[in-house]
Amino acid sequence: MNELDWLKIKQMAIMWVKEASNQLKASLVETIRVETKSSPDDLVTEMDRKIEQYFLRKIQAHFPNHAFLGEEGISGEEYKNRDTIWIIDPIDGTTNFVHQQYNFAISVAVYHKGEGKVGLIYDVMNDDLYHAMAGDGAYKNDDRLERLTPVDIDKAIIGLNARWLLYKKKANHLTMIELVDKVRGVRSYGSAALEMAYVASGRLDGYVSLKLSPWDFAAALVLLKEVGGCYSTFYGESLAILKSSSVFVGRPQFHQKVIQKFVHKELKS
């Protein structure tokens, strides 16, 4: 197989995601070991590590020249020097996985020379696969997603974690409060990848986080690009695919308007 046959790579990635999701579903009836990482709200389970290892083994076996970057850190530093990189969150929404057994996803992206080629976000419990390949459109299962159209701020529903409203969390909390005040509604699902898949599929109009890592947003950007969604940091700068940063994604025009109306005002003050 040609190493850069993106359709084949996408099909293999889908197969692995489905297999990994079966492992996750099976684990729900067992007692899972849970640990905390940087803080009591930063959880990791044995399944996060097991699923990440599963992808690493598959990728090393089939694409030994590809690099791997996963949240649980088994990748090392060599990923910086390879042309093709897999960026994987084995469970996005671990807190939901542990507490609710619902609303968690597997996020898999393949980038080549900095460009998103394949993006998959799998909503495990609903069996919904959001998938995209560069230039080939984005899909939810078998349905092609429509191109996103603009929406007015006062008619928009956005995804946002309420913690970003706390005083001096990362941005000026007053900016966040004003944004929450002006949109039609705010939702918080606890999985950044799923929330951005909802933006790509039109269920949400935007999603804001003041700190995400590459494995949280890499796959979502591939989906969003295919449907004409906009993405940047919360301050309107381009996202660097291998760096943690704030992330703001949304419908065209809506995205720009929010940055102009709320964020630029904050930067000026």
Provide φ and ψ at 135, rounded to 5°.
85, 0
Residue with tokens 């939901």: 96
Please, which residue, 79 or 217, has the CB nearer to Ca ion?
A: 217
Per rule CB under 6 A, is residue 52 in the interface with ligand IPD? Answer: no
Residue 161 contact, options Ca ion, ligand IPD, none, Cβ 5-8 Å cut-off depending on partner type: ligand IPD
The answer to whether 104 and 192 are in contact (CB under 8 A) is no
Amino acid at 184: R
| Positive or negative: CA dihedral 115, 117, 123, 129 | positive
Residue numbers 187-226 binding ligand IPD by CB under 6 A: 190-192, 209, 212, 216
Q: Which of the stretches 84-92, 179-187, 199-207, 222-230 binds ligand IPD when contact is defined by CB under 6 A?
A: 84-92
With residue 92 as reference, give the H or E element that holds it. Answer: strand 84-92
Site string for ligand IPD, 159-188 (x = CB under 6 A): --x---------------------------
Q: List interacting residues with Ca ion (CB under 5 A).
A: 71, 89, 91-92, 216
Q: Which of the stretches 89-97, 126-134, 147-155, 225-233 binds ligand IPD when contact is defined by CB under 6 A?
A: 89-97
Residue 73 CA: distances (Å) to CA of 49, 87, 241: 9, 11, 16
Please, which residue, 121 or 258, has the CB nearer to Ca ion?
A: 121
Amino acid at 228: G
Please, which residue, 18 or 170, has the CB nearer to ligand IPD?
A: 170
- Give the CB-nearest residue to ligand IPD: 192
Nearest distance in Å: CB 212, ligand IPD: 6
With residue 2 as reference, give the H or E element that holds it. Answer: none
Going by C-alpha positions, the residue among 210, 166, 203 that lies closest to residue 185 is 203
**Spatial distance between the Cα atoms of 227 and 247, rounded to a whole number of angstroms:** 18
Please give the residue ranges that form the binding site for ligand IPD (CB under 6 A): 71, 89, 91-94, 161, 190-192, 209, 212, 216
